Chain A
């Protein structure tokens, strides 16, 4: 079934120039090839991971001990704000778009993305948006320092940076929307005829749903920040009580975007985990269709729970109760997913290569983040947890050892396919263990800090918070340093890795789990110019 895939010269080709990449550096600017654009996205995301990480190191250095040692409180606020924006919009989201670009056409037997030129445009809009955002660091009055949520009235006190930050959000939003449209169009129109929706790989399913989420929410965010812009410069008062507006209105709009947004970062994570775990358990994914329905339910629920970020903002009791109940419901489909992954491992024949290690620790640590999420869903208790380090611990558990770990897993899993070289397994495992241990030293103590009463987003703290902060910072420094190992592995693997010959399927029997493993490693520049006739499907 894999014979039809990798051919180059086709009889029906009438143009003679579209066979290989453009020569020289210009290739990377003008490329419309999904593999090239995927690579660009992934490398850009990796770079931003280190930029956002450097900001986190500044934050943890200041918090290492009580007292103000290194930075000014305003700059500290800029760091927390920019760290979040860079990590969310510059690192995690683009990394998943990169994976989508590389993998979706190869997983569904399509020759490329549906809209290749637009694909190029989304990437370069992303770069422009992030560079514009980064440029605010050097503006008079500093980068935005009102938190990544950009709540008014505080954000309106930003200096010269405000319109630039807002415009960069617009650019990032357009980039995401174009990317999402492209992914949805590709999945719906370009699947090999032999692949009905319910035989799509889980990664493709999760991205299809994520794509719709993005298309629905990014315009909402763009609207919210545009209202900030007109409030600041054109004398409207959407969010100003003095003119009949309401600052809390912004929070409702923001979180209508913001809650689905956090699922944009976790649904593709679920997809990758559901892809990797069966391969290394040597067993089909347990409960494929319930996985699909659970993902869709989580996506639906994400639109109707937004105000659980706002329990203390002053809502009527009916609102508090509704948002509490709706939020608690999310635990059910999320639980189904965790149970399914566990059942996939059950009675398998597991091996523990780096991608599997990262995926298993994702399941465990994401579940921890889910538990604290459930605790926070209970509105009265959230009156204690809200805006403390408990929250910081919660969402970092769902983002770092969940989304970021899965991105690492995806990197190790597909890198041999992308490059045709095997990564160094020893260094990979070292990277895993250092990351998995230090990430817990970093974030677990933050639960204690929050419960003991430490608010988030403060540059300095009372003496009783000193011990756990120091431990957390030490964990942070180890975690940060460990990621340099990953950088080394990426460079090393691109340059040739272990030198071992990499087969088509790379991992034992992987071809049973996905079309991409029927292609050579590395795959030729153009793949699936004619759709594959047979689809590997392990769940019927």
Chain B
């Protein structure tokens, strides 16, 4: 019933001339914030106007003809059916237009392709369903997931109006300095993804087992948003990209704090049950929910349910080992720190929303390195 009401509300809202509070929709391509994106925008406008011009000429002729050369107006049909001169003209003129368009297009294409002489390199790995960023040579390396609020909202099907940057927001954005030529190398850990930030002017596929390159140089500090643009499975629509461009000084500071945080030893002291459950819920939402779903029901045929699962509800040690080692179908979660692992195990065994109720709590210290990748 709620859906039907929403539908009606939607239709009447559309009928009212779209007086929406979020009227920041766009009609045209974004100009973007790099030289290449500006060149691409100019090319786009050039071709668009060429097409508009040809369209007016052709459709104009057609509609003139449809108005004046109709039987109801008593127009008598002529009987011509070819004219070599005209046919040659309308073959040659488009050819000239195409050549004229190909020249600037070639220039921009060469520019887009030139990854030489970059100031820094970032390796971007697409994974189902988040991005992994590694700043080559600096040690900065982290994952970028859809932000928790968008994640929750789309999972439980609630109203996304009011969620800031719904589906275009991440927990940890990619940070780059302005005015520097940044080379990206793209690859994937599973299926093909594609990394697209419209303001940078391009997208590039991330292919498993192969490396692709692209580059950018952002002129203007700011926050630029994009999305995965190659269908990559169930949560393809939920792996956005956020790029923050900042002045070199700020960027250097960001590298410093990020590195410090990255190298911090996790706090392994005991936590209250509430804290474990709250932390566990956050870890679950980021790492587990795509496959096992918000209610732990999994996806029949694809992903097993955690709800009532024997593996989840039995002994702790095999479960820890399982999470750390992974299987051919499930990735290893050895990347989770002991406190995160403890929290999420407590959560999946006890969360009422997942339908499990073992009644225990697992403290960070209880996590033994059954599988250790060091």
Residues of A at the B interface (CB closer than 8 Å) are 64-70, 72-74, 77, 139-142, 145-147, 151, 153-154, 157, 159-160, 240-242, 246-248, 281-290, 312-314, 317, 320-321, 324-325, 328-329, 331-332, 335-336, 338-339, 342-343, 345-352, 360, 363-364, 367-368, 371, 374-375, 378-381, 383-384, 386-388, 448, 451-453, 455-468, 470-471, 474, 538-539
* B58 and A153 within 8 A (CB): no
Residues of B within 8 A of A64 (CB): 7, 10
Chain B 294-308 per-residue mask, 1 if CB under 8 angstroms from chain A, else 0: 000001111000000
Could you tell me if B47 and A380 are in contact, using CB atoms closer than 8 angstroms? no
Q: Judge whether A157 and B10 touch: CB under 8 Å.
A: no
Residues of B within 8 A of A325 (CB): 102
Chain B residues whose CB sits within 8 angstroms of the CB of A343 once the complex forms = 83, 86
Q: How far, in angstroms, from A286 to B79 measured CA to CA in the complex?
A: 9
Instruction: Decide if A468 touches B25 in the complex (CB within 8 Å).
Output: yes
A-B pairs with beta carbons under 8 Å apart, 29 shown: A66-B160, A66-B167, A142-B302, A145-B233, A151-B192, A151-B231, A154-B231, A159-B301, A282-B77, A286-B81, A312-B204, A324-B106, A325-B102, A328-B101, A342-B62, A348-B75, A350-B70, A350-B75, A352-B70, A367-B58, A378-B101, A380-B40, A381-B43, A451-B26, A451-B29, A453-B227, A456-B229, A464-B24, A470-B10
Which chain B residues border A367 with CB–CB below 8 Å? 55, 58-59
B234: interface (CB < 8 Å): yes
B207-215, B243-251, B263-271: which lies at the interface: B207-215
B110 near A350: Cβ-Cβ < 8 Å: no
Query: Are the CB atoms of A381 and B44 closer together than 8 Å?
Result: yes
Q: Which of B48, B230, B233 contacts A157 (CB 8 A)?
A: B233
CB-based A-B contact count at 8 angstroms: 328
Sort A-B residue pairs by CB-CB distance and give the 9 closest, nearest first: A241-B209, A141-B301, A458-B237, A314-B212, A383-B202, A140-B301, A371-B51, A284-B81, A452-B26
Q: Which residues of B contact A (CB under 8 A)?
A: 3, 6-7, 10-11, 13-14, 18, 20, 22-30, 36, 39-40, 43-44, 47-48, 51, 54-55, 58-59, 61-62, 65-66, 69-72, 75-83, 86-87, 90-91, 94-95, 98, 101-102, 105-106, 108-110, 112-113, 153-155, 157-161, 163, 165-168, 186, 190-192, 194, 196, 198, 201-205, 207-210, 212-213, 225-238, 299-302
> When chains A and B are docked, how far (Å) is the Cα of A70 from the Cα of B3?
9
Given A151-B192, A453-B198, A455-B228, A69-B90 contact (CB < 8 Å): no
How far apart sit A446 and B14, CA to CA, in the bound complex (Å)? 16
A74 touches B191 (CB 8 A): no
Give A375 to B48 CA distance when docked, in angstroms: 7
- Closest chain-B Cβ to A337's Cβ sits at a distance in Å of 11
Contact B22 A463 (CB under 8 A): yes
From B26, B91, B95, B237, give the contact of A448 (CB < 8 A). B26
User: Which listed residue, B14, B78, B86, B109, touches A317 by the CB 8 Å rule?
Assistant: B109
Question: Interface on chain B toward A: helix, strand, loop, or mixed SS?
Answer: mixed
- Quick check: A364 and B25 within 8 Å, CB to CB? no
Query: Do A73 and B234 have beta carbons less than 8 Å apart?
Result: yes
Query: Complex formed: what's the CA distance from A281 to B77 in Å?
Result: 7
Residues of A within 8 A of B71 (CB): 282, 349-351
Inter-subunit contact B69/A348 (CB<8 Å): yes
In the assembled complex, the Cα of A380 lies from the Cα of B301 at a distance in Å of 41
Report yes or no: B40 in contact with A386, Cβ–Cβ below 8 A.
no
- Hey, which chain B residues are within 8 Å of A241, CB to CB? 207-210
Give the residue of B10, B30, B236 whose beta carbon is less than 8 angstroms from that of A65. Answer: B10
Q: Across the interface, do B25 and A342 meet the contact criterion of CB distance under 8 Å?
A: no
Partner of B69, one of A68, A317, A345, A468: A345
Q: Give chain B residues whose Cβ lies under 8 Å from the Cβ of A338.
A: 58
